[in-house]
Chains A and B, each alone.
Chain A
Amino acid sequence: MSGYLVTLATIIAINAIVASGLNVIVGFAGQISLGHAAFFGIGAYTAALLATQAGWTFWAALPCVIVLTAFVGLLLGIPSLRVREDFLAITTIGINFIVEAVFNNFEFFGGALGIGGIPRVAVFDLKLRGTEFLCLCLAFLAVVIALCGWLTRCWAGLACFALREEETAAASVGVSPVRFKLLAFVIGTAMAGLGGALYAHFMRFISAGDFAFPLSVSLLSMVVVGGIGTLWGPILGAILIGVLPEVFRPLIDYRILFYTTLLLLMIRFQPGGLLGENSAARRVLARILPGGRP
């Protein structure tokens, strides 16, 4: 596999991890988040700082990164969930801008220059490069998907689904809306933190601009285009959104326009996502595969 493809695949794998986290928040619990990139960034910066300032290895830092990101998710989630549904989108946008501004303006985070010199991930003194690192990311992706799958099968997941469908009715069967929304938020942001750590050690240099609002939009697009609330939707979405700009590269100047127009068309005509209920793709698949949903 050529170096370029490996890099692309790695980015897609990392995006898929982060998008799966967003899917827990948006797809499972029905809470809109347009600030998910901020938590991706918090994970990345935490990993970067622990690696460069404290000399921790990726493995030693990982639990800390995940817990810290989830904790910030909890803190920011509490005020977010007190607001009405319409406000939530805007509040999460605000979180993105504020977090980005904090990274950009404080010397502790390297200011506008960001943090560089992040070492590679090492397994028993063997530094992981290229395909090896890709395999590591894929392994983590598999773990994340398994976790999401398990979540759909346990009572916590059922509570989130009920919440997503009908909050008042969910409360009437004992589901505390605040508690389960926060739970989804914490799980989702933790996954974003994991993705952030991988990203930091992959790019080896990060700056605030990497985690700005447009990335939150991309992540949400991945979830929606792939099929919101489905297990494999975020992966499909990450692949599509990762690959499309590259496919359009020959168009050079027009590629962004093509990409945004395609996004608009996809959302306008397949709002349920490609793996969503009643989507064209699903209907085709239903004829080919024997029953059951992916």
Chain B
Amino acid sequence: MQLFIEQLLNGIATGSIYALVTLGLALVYGIMRILHVAHAAVYTIGAYVGLLFYNLTGSLLLAALGSMAVCSLVGVAIERFVYFPLLKYPPFVPLIASIAILLSVEELCRLIAGPQILTFPAELPFPEFHVAGVRVTSTVTAVYGITAAVLGLLWVVTTKTELGLAMRAASQDMAVADAMGINSHLIVSVTFVIGSAVAAVAGILVGIYFNQVYPTMGAIPAYKTLALIVVGGLGSVPGAVVASLLLGMAETLLIGYADIPLPRDALAFIAMIGMLMWRSQGLLGSR
């Protein structure tokens, strides 16, 4: 029983991390219908920059803020210089560009910081606690706390602020939003800022949680998060979150309990294809 609880808690932690990484991707897709694979590049940059600032200043808060700033710039740069000019082409054109960006960033990180795995030995100022005899480390608590905080903040922004209203309008129908005086392009850029900032936080959190920062850390999330936004329902941010949590739990429990010969990463895609067979608009997507 204790093992089960431990696995469950780990699963939720994993799922929360997936949710944080997927969140930015879901936001971007919702507003621009672009599969922003390069989001994983932003996430990787977030981890590296966060580690750099932490080593320079010793403060996790400064590291987070600095990383978020850098990633926001990177995200907007990608949007303005690569995606926006390619909007009128079929969707696989920006997709290839996005993949090229991801590969280039991986290489840049490797050349600048080295191919080895760096450690991120930061202490997260969150409490430990015990649940049913299982010790929950401060790192895991941090994951829960930060994910909940980010989701909460995002929910407040999208439902209670004018900005959020503009974002929802633009993602439903950009032409109409434009006609109503909303500066759609600005909204798109703001979405990238928010998404990239969240990616930065996710990158730092993952770096600390697994104590690993390395150039190709974005490779698996790049594609797994794609599967997650499909399962959750393309364009649905809550759906992506739910899908992430479910996948995190499924992966951890299945690996812990069952002896499935397929690797974890294929699981996400199998789940995705299964979902598409059953309900082609995803969990919370709309037709």
Contacts and interface: CB of A to CB of B under 8 A. Distances in A.
Interface stretch (A50-58, A199-207, A217-225, A279-287): A217-225
B227 A268 contact: no
B96 A91 contact: no
A257 B108 contact: yes
Contact of A217 (B99, B108, B230, B263): B99
A86 B277 CA distance: 15
Contacts, number: 115
Interface in B133-173: none
A213 B223 contact: yes
Interface string B161-188: 0000000000000000000000000000
Interface stretch (A8-16, A76-84, A118-126, A139-147): A76-84
B218 to A, nearest CB: 14
B131 to A, nearest CB: 34
A267 B100 contact: yes
Interface in A238-284: 253-254, 256-257, 260-261, 263-264, 267-268, 271-272
Contact of A105 (B92, B108, B263, B280): B263
Contacts of B270: 94, 98
B262 A105 contact: yes
Size category of the A interface is: 35 or more
A95 B91 CA distance: 19
B269 interface: yes
Interface residues of B, number: 39
Interface string B209-226: 000000000000001001
A83 B97 contact: no
A87 B233 CA distance: 10
Given A90-B226, A91-B273, A257 B89 contact: no
A105 B266 CA distance: 11
A260 B227 contact: no
Interface string B58-93: 000000000000000000000001100110011111
Nearest to B92: A32
Contacts of B85: 268
Interface of chain A: mostly helix, strand, loop or mixed: helix
A180 interface: no
B91 A264 contact: no
Interface of B: 33, 35, 81-82, 85-86, 89-93, 95-97, 99-101, 103-104, 107-108, 111, 223, 226-227, 230, 234, 261-263, 265-266, 269-270, 272-273, 276-277, 280
Given A32-B90, A100-B266, A271-B86, 13 more contacts: A85-B91, A87-B280, A93-B269, A97-B266, A101-B265, A256-B103, A256-B107, A263-B103, A267-B93, A267-B97, A268-B81, A268-B85, A272-B89
Interface of A: 26, 30, 32, 34, 79, 82-87, 89-91, 93-95, 97-98, 100-102, 104-106, 213, 217, 220-221, 224, 253-254, 256-257, 260-261, 263-264, 267-268, 271-272
